[in-house]
Amino acid sequence: MLFYSFEFIFIFLPLSVFVFFALSKKHPEFAEVALILFSLVFYAYYKVDNIFIILSSIVINYGFGTLLTNWGGRFADRNVSRRKAVFYVGVCFNILLLVYFKYTNFIIDNVNVLVGSNITIDTIILPLAISFFTFQQIAYLNDSFSGVADEYKFRRYALFVCFFPQLIAGPIVHHREMMPQFKDLTNKILNWENIYQGLTLFIIGLFKKIVIADTFAQWAIAGYADTGHIQFFEAWRTSLSYSLQLYFDFSGYADMAIGIGLLFNIRLPINFDSPYRALDVQDFWRRWHITLSRFLREYIYFPLGGNRVGEASVYRNLFIVFFVGGIWHGAGWTYVLWGILHGVGICVVRFWKKLGVGIYRPLAWLMTFLFVNMAWVFFRADSMHDAFDVLAGMVGMHGVTVSRTFRWAEQFGANVVDSPFVVSIGLIFILFLVLQDIFFRNSQQWVRHIRAEWKWCMANCALFITAIIVSLQHQRISEFIYWQF
């Protein structure tokens, strides 16, 4: 089920909030069970078969976590070998589950190319959100092994994994961030301030997704559909459109997820903090998919030695982290190269900072944005060939023709409205919103400063109605980009 679908907005979400708080008054445990069932319905709505995979993963990981907890505490010293064995088996189970569903076809295709074999299997359909709930449960097993997580109730553990606001595309949460909130009985009482802030964030995210992200999506799709001999202005329009589509798509999802969590008095961690303000690649990853960066840092970078080892080993560790991050995003060489580019980029940033040479801030911002924009080309392209075609166009290798450059605007105007004036006003308004979100207060910062006053309520209504009207006009609204990972 999609956050921006009418069945979610007008039926599923209000019904789940009503049932949760209606049951919370006298039976908080029933409220949690109801929320689990709503979350499973939300998950199964996309593909019913997926529900057996996530339930199996939850049951098996809960079993591993229970063993780690029961063999911990004051008897941990006696059970070191057994706890290590359970931990490693649990981690291997999760990794193998992810590898099977996400990478089997990719591995077989590459084996066929390398050795000239003709191995064929049926295409394995990737279960929705498997990358997210697998990483989340690996983190839980690690926390259980370290003694910082101890969940004895299966009900709460299942809720921790499948809570629907964060289930599909993150954030990747820690057990210690979520479960104390579910255990807190004061969170079972309707909080009107949280309701208002949650709805505000949800509406802002809805507007970002439908009005801004999907507008840029039309131009990105058109550009990447025909990359052969793409010319200078078209190539830049294509790459920038996708960079902004992805930005507002992910930003919109992050706002909506946090907003929905607030409706249930649950504060999800911030996962997106204006990453296009970044002054270097390291700063970018402090702002983009924050919880994934945290996971990779805590469970890959630190175990490798982090920055407590020799300088050469630090660069190796950084590169490995981003190489893994690239593979995590997708089973394809374009994702691998995207991860390698960011690994090299962050190593260059570290080396430059070691030299102690400063860079003029506007220039640092421009260099960072151009690098990120260039790397997104590999993230989006269907093949290496398409990616290099777009990059070649961006440096003018396919020529520069102004007459073809603005044909996309005419086509866009014809698809939306007949009035060039309305199209121009709309594009200027979207540009204003882009600059506002990137360079000034973002939605998270805005919400902390607004109150339930008439002017803000009217603004929310205007954004919501606009998003609904635009969604009715669009023939197809694209899915959240990060859902496919």
Q: Which residues are catalytic?
A: 329
Q: Cα(136)–Cα(108) distance, rounded to whole angstroms? A: 27
Element (H, E) at 356: none
Q: Cα(287)–Cα(476) distance, rounded to whole angstroms? A: 30
Report whether 271 contacts 170 (CB < 8 A). Answer: yes
Quote helix, strand, coil % in the chain, to nearest 5. Answer: 75, 0, 25
Would you state the structure tokens that stand for residue 35, as one six-digit string? 């929320």
Q: Cα(77)–Cα(75) distance, rounded to whole angstroms? A: 6
Report whether 157 contacts 65 (CB < 8 A). Answer: yes
Report whether 307 contacts 282 (CB < 8 A). Answer: no
Q: Cα(213)–Cα(245) distance, rounded to whole angstroms? A: 4
Report whether 290 contacts 166 (CB < 8 A). Answer: no
Report whether 237 contacts 408 (CB < 8 A). Answer: yes
DSSP state letter for 78: G
Helix (H, G, I), strand (E, B) or coil at 389: helix
Would you state the structure tokens that stand for residue 329, as one six-digit string? 């995003």
Would you state the structure tokens that stand for residue 374, as one six-digit string? 């260039």
Angstrom CA distances, 435 to 67, 248, 372, 445, stand at: 51, 12, 17, 15
Q: Which residues contact 453 (CB under 8 A, 6 or more apart)?
A: none
Report whether 199 contacts 452 (CB < 8 A). Answer: no
For the chain, the straight-line distance linking the first and the last C-alpha, in angstroms and rounded, comes to 16
Report whether 257 contacts 7 (CB < 8 A). Answer: no
